Amino acid sequence: MKTTNAKTMHPLLRKFGPLLGCIVFYVVIMLLRKADIINGYYMQVMLFAGVNVLMTASLNLVNGFTGQFCIGHAGFMSLGAYGAAVITTMVFKSNSIPEAAQIPVFLLGLLCGGIVAAIVGALIGIPSLKLKGDYLAIVTLAFGEIVRALLRLIQPIGGARGMIGIPNYANFFWIMLFVVLTLWLLRNLIYSSYGRAFIAIRDNEIAADAMGINTTKYKIMSFCIAAFIAGVAGGLYAHVLSFIQPDSFGFVKSADYLVYLYAGGSGSLTGSVVGAVLLTILPEVLRFLATWRLVLYAIILIAVMLYRSEGLIGGKEVPFLRIKRSSLYEQPLFGRKKNGLSEE
Amino acid sequence: MSFCPPAHLFIFTGMEAIALATILQYLVYGLQLGSVYALLALGYTMVYGIVGMINTAHGDFLMIGALGTYFIAKLFDSMSIDGTYPMLAVGCIILIATVMTGGIAVGVEAIAYRPLRNKPRMIALITAVGVSMFLTNFPRALPFIGPNPRPFPTLFTPKTFNVLGASITSTQIIMIVLAAVTMLALDRLVAKTKIGAQMRAVSMDKDAASLMGINIDKVISITFFIGGALAAVSGICYASVYPQVEVYMGSWLGNMSFVSAVLGGIGDIRGAMLGGFILGIAQIFATAINSTFGYAVGFIILIVILLVKPAGIMGKVTIEKV
Amino acid sequence: MKKILRILCLALCVIMAVSVCACGPSEKKGSVETIKIGLAFPMSGMAAMAGKYSTHGADVLKEELGGKITVGDKEYPIEFVVMDTEGSEEKTANVYQKLIEEEKVIAIAGPDSSKCMLAAAPIAQNAKCPAITSFGTNTAVTEVGDYIFRACFIDPFQGAVAAAYCDGQGHKTACIMFNNADAYSVGLKDAFVENYNGEVLAIEEYSGSDVKDYNVQLTKLAAQNPDVLLLPNLNVELGLQIQQARTAGLNCQIVCGDSADTPDVAKVAGPAIEGVAYVSAFSAESTDEAAKKFVDAYVELHPDELPNSNAELTYEAVKMIVWAIQNAKTLDRAGVRDALAAIDGLDLPSGKMTMDPETRNPIKGGIIMQYDADGITRYVSTVNP
C-alpha cells in the first residue's frame, strides 16, 4: 500500500483538487450530452447510478462503519420518495406553480422526505439497542416490509397502484451535487470524533462502552443520518422515474444495496461508489445475453464474493476521501487474521 | 388517511359470524400453512445453528424440490391411473425428489459456502443472495422449464372429513402429521445419535470440535443435505395444497420461514416448529380480520416478540464474555 | 490472490467496454434504411410468462413479414429489437431509453403491464416516439400524451362487459375478491361495481401475487351465497383461486377478466375450471378467418402452446405499427403516430378495429368465453354494453 505523496502535491491543488475534478467531470458530461455522444439512455443509467451511490454510501455508514446489520434500507428510501413526491405533487401542485418556485419546492420536498426517513430511522434505532446481529437484521427486514404494507394501504397517495405524474426535476446537476455533498459530508463525519465512535462500536462494542462512549446515542445517530441520506436519495429517485409504487421498495431492493455495498467493499466510501456504479451498469451491459443475463450476473456476484471477499476495493480509500494521518483506518476489514482467530 | 368505500358496498370484517365451525376451519388452514413454514424453518435453523450463516437461498431449495417432483412425476406417468399415482410410485417420487434436492444443497454448500466459512456472516449472506438469484433464474432460462406455472401432480387422493362443521382433507392431515413427525425425528437425531452429537459440538465451537477429531466438512454437508431434504418435503406439502409450481414460488416462503425461525429462536429446532405454526395461524386469523393487515401481521408479531424476548421465544440469550 | 483479482477486474472491464461499444453508435447508421420496431417485455421476473407469450405472438408477425416491409414502392428491411424489462418500472424506463436513443426504433410495442407503462410512457412522449401497450388496461396510460396508444380495451370497458353479462344471465347478487396491489385488478373491480345492476354482497381483498392462500376470504364469501363470483385478477393467481373457491363451497358462476385467457390457468385449476367465464377480446376458437390464421401460424411456430391474450394483443400491437408504417405520410415517428391515430377498420384476429383518435384507445367489442370441463374455452356471446 503506497502512501500518498500528499506533501509533494501543490497545496492548493491538494485542497481544491477533488472539487475541481468534480466540476470538470460535470462540464465534460454535459458537453458530451449536448453533442449527443451520451444519449438519454446513458444519462438515465447515470442518474440511477447516482441515486444508488447515495443509498450505498448511507448503508455503508450503518453496516460498514458502525457495524450494525441493517437489511431493510429500501424502507427509508420509500419513505423519502413518498415524502418528497407528496410535497411536490400534492401540497404544491407542480404544474401550477411558477418556474422560479420549482427548485425551492423540489428542495423542500427532498428535505421533508429526508426528515421523515430520519425520524423513522431514530425509531428503528431504539430496538436496535437491545438486539444484536441477526436479530437486528430481522427487525430491519420486518421494518422494510411493514412500511411497504402500510404504504399500500394509504389510498390518497395511490395505495398499491403507486403515484404517477411526479415532475422530472432531478437531472444530472442535482444528482451530482447531492452525491458530491454527501460523500464530502460522510468523509468529514467519519474522520471526526463521531466517526471514531462509530468505528469503535463496530470493532468492539463492549470495549467502546467500557471506554465511556455512549453507544446508544451513537447507534441511533448513525441510523438517523443514514436514514436521512436514504430519504433524500429516495426523493431524487422519485423525481427521476416520475412514478413510484410501494412494491418497488421491498426486500429485493434492499438486497440490491447490500450487494452493491459488499461487492464494493464495506468500510470504504470509495468502495460504495465503485460498487454502486459498476453494479448499476452491469445488468445494462449484459443485455446482449437475453434470458441468461441474470444468471451471469449471479455468477459474477458469487465469483466476486468467493475470490475477493473484502470487496473490489477492499476497504481502502482514494486519497481525497481520506485524511493523511488516518492510515490507521486503512486496514481492510476482513481477512484480518492477526492471531489466527477469525473475525466475528 | 381513510379509505371510504362507496355507500352501497360494505367490507365484510369478519367480526360477525364467529361460529365454532369457522374458527376451526381457520385453525385448519393455519395449521396447514404453519406446517409448511415450520418444515422450511427447520432447515433454516439447522443451517444457522451449525454453520452460523443465514441461507437466504433456502426458499429456492423448496422450489427445486417442488419443481423436481413435477418433472419426476412425469417419468412415472405411465403408472398413473386417473391422474393419481399408486402408493409405491408416490413413495419413489418423493424419495427421488428429496434426495435430489439434498444433493443440490450439498453441492451449493461445497461450491459457494465452504470457502467463506471463516469470513464474516455478511459475505456469506451476499453470496446466498447470489445463489438464490442463480437458482431462480437458471431454471427460468432453460427452455423446457421457463417461467410458466405448472399444476402439481396429485400425489395424495384427497378425501374430505367433516369435523365439527369444519372440513379437513386427507392431504392437510398428512401435511400436519408429516411436519410433526419430522420434527420429532430431527429432535431425536440431534439429541440421541452420534451424528447429532457431532452436530451439536460443531454448533457450539467449530474449532474445538475439529480438535476433538470431528470432520467438520462432513457434518456441515450432512446438515445441508438434511436441510435441503426438509425443504423438498416442505415444497411437496405446499404444492399439494396449493398446486401451482413455478420458479418464483420459493422466495416469499423463504422470507416467511426465516421470520418464523427467528420468532421461535434461531438455532433451536423446537423453536422453529413453534415459530412456524404461530406465524401460520396468526397470518390466517389476521387475514380473517382484515386481508391487507394479514400480510403485515407476521412482521408485527415478530417485532413485538423480539422486543419482549430478544432471542426469540425459545432462544437462549448468550452472555458475551469479554 | 492479487493476480486473480487483477485478471477478474480486467476481464470485467473488457466485457463492459466491448459491449458498450458493440451496442453503441454503430447502430445509428442503419436507422435510415432498416426500420426497427422495439419490443419491451418482461423476460425475467414474476411476469416472465406474460413476456414469453407476448414475444411469441410477435414472432408470428415476424414470420409473416419475412424481414421485409413494403412502404409505397420501396422495400425496407425490418428488424424487431426485443428487450427485457424484468417487470420493473425502473428497468422499463431504461429499456425505453435504450430503444429510443440507441436503437432508434420507429415505435415501441409493450410492455404489457399498466404500472410499467405508466413509468415509461412519459419518456416516449417526451422523445416523441409512438408507444403501444399490449395489455396495459389502466385508463391513465393513454392520458400521458398523444404518442401513447393501447391495443387492448380499458378496464372500465371490461368491467362494463362483465357486468352486462352478469345482468344478462340474471345473476342478482355478486361477490368479489380482488388484488388490491394491482392497478388492473382494482380498476376492473371498480368498473364492475359501477355498472352492475344487481347487488354486490361482499368484497374481499388480498395483497399481491405472492399470497397463494385465499381460503379465508373465499370461505367468508361462500357464506354469503352469491349468484356470481367476480375474480378480476392476474393469471398467476387465478388457477389456485378458482380451485380454492370450489373447495370453499362457492358453486356459483365465476367470472374473470381477460387475464383468464391463459392455458396455464386451466391446467392449474384442474376440473374446477369448468364453467368459468371471462371477458376476452379474442377467441382461439373463433371461426373468423383472421383469428384462425393467427392461431394456426402461432401453433406452427410453437407447437406446444396455444396463444393467449398476451400473444394475440402483442401481435395486434405490432401489426398496427406495421400498418401505420405502411400508411404513414412521412416515414418517421411523427408520421407513424398520425397513422396510428387514423386506424379505421383494420382487420385483426379479434375483429375489425378502429382507433379512437381522441383517447387513443381501440374501439372493439368484447366477447365472453367460457371454459368447459376439458379446459378448452368456448365462445359464448358478444357483449356490447
* Residue C64, domain member (yes or no): yes
Record: contact B147-C210, CB cut-off 8 A: no
**DSSP 3-state of B225:** helix
Q: How far is CA B260 from CA B45, B263, B311, C311, C352, in A?
A: 10, 5, 13, 41, 55
Record: contact C127-A284, CB cut-off 8 A: no
* Average pLDDT, integer, range A199-215: 88
In this model, does residue B7 exceed pLDDT 50?
Answer: no
Q: Which of C15, C44, C88 sits opposite A291 (nearest CB)?
A: C44
- Count interface pairs B-C at CB distance under 8 A: 96
In this model, does residue B198 exceed pLDDT 50?
Answer: yes
Q: What is the pLDDT of residue B134?
A: 92
Residue B152, domain extent: 37-250
* Residue C37, domain member (yes or no): yes
Counting residues of chain B whose pLDDT is more than 90, the rounded percentage is 16
- Provide the number of structural domains found in chain C: 2
Counting residues of chain B whose pLDDT is more than 70, the rounded percentage is 88
Q: How far is CA B268 from CA B304, B312, C50, C305, in A?
A: 19, 10, 42, 47
- Probe site for chain A from C41, C85, C98 (most A CB atoms < 10 A): C98
* Average pLDDT, integer, range A166-176: 86
* Average pLDDT, integer, range A234-263: 88
**Chain C residues touching chain B at CB-CB below 8 Å:** 44, 46, 48-49, 51-52, 180, 193, 200, 202-208, 210-213, 215-217, 219-221, 223-224, 236, 239-240, 243, 264, 267-268, 270
Q: How far apart are CA A252 and CA B307, in angstroms?
A: 25
Question: C111: cis peptide before it, omega within 30°?
Answer: yes
* CA-based nearest residue to B258, from B144, B125, B162: B125
Record: contact B12-C180, CB cut-off 8 A: no
* Residue C385, domain member (yes or no): no
Cβ atoms of B280 and B35 within 8 Å: the answer is yes
A305-342: b or e for each residue (b if 16 or more CB lie within 10 Å)?
bbebbbbbbbbbbebbbbeeeeeebeebbbbeeeeeee
* Residue C210, domain member (yes or no): yes
In this model, does residue B193 exceed pLDDT 50?
Answer: yes
Global pTM value:
0.81
State how far residue C347 is from chain B, nearest Cα, in angstroms: 31
Taking CA atoms, what residue in B is nearest to C48? B147
State how far residue B41 is from chain A, nearest Cα, in angstroms: 14
Highest-confidence segment of A115-124, A133-142, B67-76: A115-124
Q: Where are the alpha helices (DSSP H) in chain A?
A: 11-34, 40-59, 74-85, 99-130, 133-153, 172-190, 193-203, 205-210, 215-241, 251-264, 269-285, 293-307
Record: contact B244-C239, CB cut-off 8 A: yes
Q: Which of C49, C205, C239 sits opposite B291 (nearest CB)?
A: C205
Least trusted range by pLDDT, from A161-165, B34-38, B210-214, C15-19: C15-19
Record: contact B248-C46, CB cut-off 8 A: yes
State how far residue A35 is from chain B, nearest Cα, in angstroms: 39
Q: Using the 8-state DSSP alphabet, how is residue C353 labeled? A: E
Residue C192, domain extent: 155-280
Q: What is the pLDDT of residue C40?
A: 92
For chain B, say whether A170 makes contact (Cβ under 8 Å). Answer: no
State how far residue C188 is from chain A, nearest Cα, in angstroms: 13
In this model, does residue A6 exceed pLDDT 60?
Answer: no
Low-confidence ranges of chain C (pLDDT < 70): 1-32, 283-287, 375, 382-385
Q: What is the pLDDT of residue B43?
A: 87
**DSSP 3-state of C302:** coil
Q: What is the pLDDT of residue A317?
A: 73
B242-254 pLDDT, tens digit per residue, is 888 888 888 888 8
Q: Using the 8-state DSSP alphabet, how is residue C141 labeled? A: G
For residue A290, which residues of chain C lie inside 8 Å, CB to CB? 43, 82, 84
Count of C-beta atoms within a 10 Å radius of residue A172: 17
* Average pLDDT, integer, range A68-87: 91
Q: What is the pLDDT of residue C243?
A: 86
Least trusted range by pLDDT, from B38-42, B166-170, C108-112, C318-322: B166-170
Residue B222 pLDDT level (bands cut at 50, 70, 90): very high
Q: What is the pLDDT of residue A342?
A: 36
Query: Greater confidence, A98 or B253?
Result: B253
Q: Residue A294, Cα to own-chain centre: how many angstroms?
A: 23
In this model, does residue B105 exceed pLDDT 90?
Answer: yes
The per-residue DSSP string of A105-123 comes to HHHHHHHHHHHHHHHHHHH
In this model, does residue B23 exceed pLDDT 60?
Answer: yes
Record: contact B242-C213, CB cut-off 8 A: yes
**DSSP 3-state of A259:** helix
Angle at C117 between CA C305 and CA C234, to 5 degrees: 45
Cβ atoms of C198 and C226 within 8 Å: the answer is no
Q: What is the pLDDT of residue A206?
A: 87
* Residue B258, domain member (yes or no): no
In this model, does residue A188 exceed pLDDT 90?
Answer: no
Q: What is the pLDDT of residue A8?
A: 57
Q: For strands C199-206 and C68-71, give the pairing.
A: unpaired
Q: Which chains touch C (3 or more CB pairs under 8 A)?
A: A, B
In this model, does residue A70 exceed pLDDT 70?
Answer: yes
In this model, does residue A3 exceed pLDDT 70?
Answer: no
Strands (E), chain C: 35-41, 68-71, 74-84, 107-109, 131-133, 148-150, 173-179, 199-206, 228-231, 253-256, 277-280, 346-348, 351-355, 362-363, 366-371, 377-383
Q: What is the pLDDT of residue B100?
A: 94
Cβ atoms of A290 and B137 within 8 Å: the answer is no
Cβ atoms of C90 and C111 within 8 Å: the answer is no
The answer for residues whose C-beta is within 8 angstroms of residue C97's C-beta and 6 or more apart is A39, A40, A41, A43, A44, A45, C123
- Are C253 and C185 part of one and the same domain? yes
* Residue C21, domain member (yes or no): no
Record: contact B262-A134, CB cut-off 8 A: yes
* Residue B130, domain member (yes or no): yes
Record: contact B150-C49, CB cut-off 8 A: no
Q: Using the 8-state DSSP alphabet, how is residue A64 labeled? A: I
Taking CA atoms, what residue in B is nearest to C217? B288
* Residue C384, domain member (yes or no): no
* Residue B307, domain member (yes or no): no
User: Which H or E element spans position A244?
Assistant: strand A243-244
Q: What is the pLDDT of residue C307?
A: 80
Give the CATH number of the domain where residue C112 resides: 3.40.50.2300
**DSSP 3-state of C83:** strand
Q: What is the pLDDT of residue A324?
A: 46
Q: How far apart are CA C136 and CA C145, in angstroms?
A: 15
Counting residues of chain A whose pLDDT is more than 90, the rounded percentage is 23
- Count interface pairs A-C at CB distance under 8 A: 104
Q: What is the pLDDT of residue B321?
A: 56
Q: Which residue has the cell 431504539?
A: A126
Least trusted range by pLDDT, from A39-53, A288-302, C29-43, C107-121: C29-43
Amino acid at A209: D
Record: contact A41-C119, CB cut-off 8 A: no
- Are C148 and C74 part of one and the same domain? yes
* Residue C229, domain member (yes or no): yes
Q: What is the pLDDT of residue A318?
A: 72
Q: Which of B14, B147, B294 sits opposite C220 (nearest CB)?
A: B14
Q: For strands C351-355 and C362-363, give the pairing.
A: antiparallel
* Residue C381, domain member (yes or no): no
- Probe site for chain B from A138, A146, A296, A337 (most B CB atoms < 10 A): A138
Record: contact C94-A44, CB cut-off 8 A: yes
* Residue B27, domain member (yes or no): no
* Residue B155, domain member (yes or no): yes
Least trusted range by pLDDT, from A139-143, B5-9, B227-231, C47-51: B5-9
* Average pLDDT, integer, range A22-40: 82
Q: What is the pLDDT of residue C306?
A: 77
- Are C146 and C159 part of one and the same domain? no
Q: What are the backbone angles phi and psi of residue B236, rounded to the nearest 5°?
A: -65, -45
Q: What is the pLDDT of residue A9?
A: 59
Q: Is A110 exposed, middle or buried (0-12, 13-18, 19+ CB in 10 A)?
A: buried
- Provide the number of structural domains found in chain B: 1
Residue B79 pLDDT level (bands cut at 50, 70, 90): low
3-state secondary structure B132-186: HHHHHHHHHHCCCCCCCCEECCECCCCCEEEECCEEEEHHHHHHHHHHHHHHHHH
Record: contact A290-C88, CB cut-off 8 A: no
- Bridge partners (DSSP) of residue B11 are C203
Taking CA atoms, what residue in B is nearest to A152? B292
Per-residue cell: B93: 417420487
In this model, does residue A38 exceed pLDDT 80?
Answer: no
Record: contact C208-B17, CB cut-off 8 A: no
Q: For strands C351-355 and C68-71, give the pairing.
A: unpaired
